[in-house]
Chains A and B, each alone.
Chain A
């Protein structure tokens, strides 16, 4: 009897997969840490959010904004943008989404530890009517839409009341087993049907999904975390999974040649740099020494030899396509010039430094650190290299434990100012500016320009300011730019991942078409 039911279920499932729905076996390097979209600001959580929830607007592949739960928006005064919400959108619980859910979500974001930083410039939302909201900023603010990509409306009624332990269902708390970390009701294309943390997450397509125009035909997703890169690739080659990310660079050559595999690469926006600690080393206070170091490091060779062209050589923080990208800035590798600069600065015989990098945070981080040390040796700077796992690296970074430290950064808002705010502005404990400025670089003009840019809404004017900032940092050799890490995804042929991936690395699985 049970066996029969089982067989019927299997044939039904087969029929379904032939008829109109496909199932996708997806393998990422990790699974989402929670089901609460506000618990942690991380790539993994945002990937999850795009599956189970929907944002007001989202990024397209060419860095434009695409309407999702907000259909239109217009600025009504210097500080206010009016958003029109989509009508007839249902949450997974069946409740209808209205302006009050958006306001509720917005208030929750402003209180959550991880997201409040993004919403600092905002006032509470004003509800105009059920389908209209005003998003208000404290001053004129250029990043309203950038920030709206982080607003994934949550089901206010679903998260009201108390859970069985008497705690509010709306509670956001990292270390507690909260209601929201185990249950979700969003408007997204998928619902979670089963979740075994660290082992697998099963998703099923939400029948009441509002976006009927989406060509996506995936009705079931099984997400398995596979931490080891080689195993992830092997699982794809063996046909045990359909779609993997990230693809380890060491396997790119092989996958590029595989005929049954669909490999998609995009130039990424995460900059990898080294910072020179001016507090620990008086030598680094001399701009000529900093310039010498930048001139000594052949980042082009790092990209071609170590990264196997899986990166774009950088001379600044902003990648192409960002508002602050300054096209006049070129990579500076020139060993003769570097030696000259060292002589001019009075260090023809070099000096000894310590250099630290993580060994499991960025692509090939350890090898890059070693290559940089050997390049520095050519201008007689002897670097003793120490690489450690990221779990130990961050405390070491916070303690500024070495003279030269590696740091990579991706701008949460896809905006140029964000890089400088975190990496190179003068450290300020209260505002959090310069939190990752391990070099203690401080340039009042840079600080002033970046702060000013936060309230400039005119795009051209803002571009001029941020491009000038890049130029100042370049001339000052404020940091050592290496490259922007590329991104890669791979699937079996027939799983059309190209249109649904993006540089933010939030694949829009809801729109995925499987042939």
Chain B
């Protein structure tokens, strides 16, 4: 019953948020430029342009266009991309695996590096290595992804002849719709640099977050009790302290995972990674309004789904959290 009302409430919120996002997307379309200019050659006459504008319904008032969009959206049709000439959802879902895999690979790097490094810095705060890590994490936080990407490309493929400068390489088709990088050697070698560059923004943040939280937890009384009881250091650190460090981290991680999907825009542009982020930049340069609006709605959806998953994970880690306010 509780779970049902939780999901009902969530889906109702989903719809409201998506309507708001699409409305904002539509209302800024004039600022996004004129799609007609991107569809025709520069020498094409004004009359031909006007005909196309009329045909695409771009002359209708804003509200008429928005109502038409919502009506179609209710039937599952979010519009057709001007550039790809395919339904926008098909275009986005085509590009989604590339972005999700890149984000997963980057998350993998973040998780497997930030936990040991963060704990290390908390336990040995004065050690040279800990200080070095903290210094590097400041540099990492302040360096733009774009620059990290270009640097990686110049160091590895160009100077050292290692790894690849762009693209996904050889991918394997799974279930007929999911192209994966993880099952071919070429694909794995291609994903390394983009994943490092994408991870470079989140890694320092997480090292600092885990370190900070761990320092806090380590000074709590139950840790002192555990020490007094003679538990091994590793058991105290990894079982007792770490579990409590994790709770706030999970909620940040959830939001950051979704943020990372949005951050792929820069990484994908530098590495010509054929994902949603790159597609979005292209859509903006082409003034492909249906695709831009659909992308925004889709990313909003991803944010809400990750938030929901985080809430559920929360419940699993910390049983005192309630999904829905219960009346007693």
Interface residues of A (CB under 8 A from B): 33-34, 40-42, 113-114, 116-118, 174-178, 181, 196-200, 224-228, 230-231, 234-235, 237-240, 360, 389-395, 398, 409, 412, 422, 429, 432, 435-436
Contact = CB atoms under 8 A, between A and B. Distances in A.
B242 interface: no
B285 A435 contact: no
Contacts, number: 135
B80 A175 contact: yes
Given A41-B43, A199-B274, A432-B47, 11 more contacts: A113-B52, A175-B52, A198-B282, A224-B272, A227-B281, A234-B150, A234-B157, A238-B164, A238-B165, A240-B164, A435-B45
B85 A226 contact: no
A412 B40 CA distance: 14
Secondary structure at the A interface, as helix, strand, loop or mixed, is loop
Contact of A113 (B34, B48, B166): B48
Given A40-B41, A117-B43, A198 B279 contact: yes
Contacts of B310: none
B166 A391 contact: no
Contacts of B286: 391
Contacts of A422: 43
Contacts of B279: 198
A228 B269 contact: yes
Given A117-B44, A176-B85, A198-B282, A234 B158 contact: yes
B46 A429 contact: yes
Given A113-B51, A174-B39, A198-B279, A226 B166 contact: yes
A466 to B, nearest CB: 18
Interface in B270-307: 270-272, 274, 278-279, 281-282, 284-287
15 contacts: A40-B39, A114-B44, A174-B82, A175-B56, A227-B278, A227-B281, A228-B270, A231-B150, A231-B272, A234-B153, A240-B157, A240-B166, A389-B285, A391-B287, A395-B34
B205 to A, nearest CB: 26
A434 to B, nearest CB: 11
A198 B84 contact: yes
B243 interface: no
Given A177-B85, A238-B165, A228 B37 contact: no
Nearest to A230: B150
B150 to A, nearest CB: 6
A235 B166 CA distance: 7
B27 interface: no
B55 interface: yes
A8 B128 CA distance: 55
A425 B242 CA distance: 75
A196 B179 CA distance: 13
Contacts of A389: 33, 285
B235 interface: no
Nearest to A413: B43
A174 B286 CA distance: 14
B131 interface: no
A224 B164 CA distance: 14
Nearest to A411: B43
A41 B165 CA distance: 32
A399 to B, nearest CB: 10
A469 B173 CA distance: 60
Nearest to B37: A394
State the 6 A-B residue pairs at the shortest beta-carbon distance, nearest first. A391-B33, A41-B41, A238-B157, A432-B45, A394-B37, A199-B274
A231 B287 contact: no
A230 B51 CA distance: 39
A392 B165 CA distance: 31
A149 to B, nearest CB: 15
B212 interface: no
A116 B48 contact: yes
A391 B165 CA distance: 28
B287 A226 contact: no
A240 B165 contact: yes
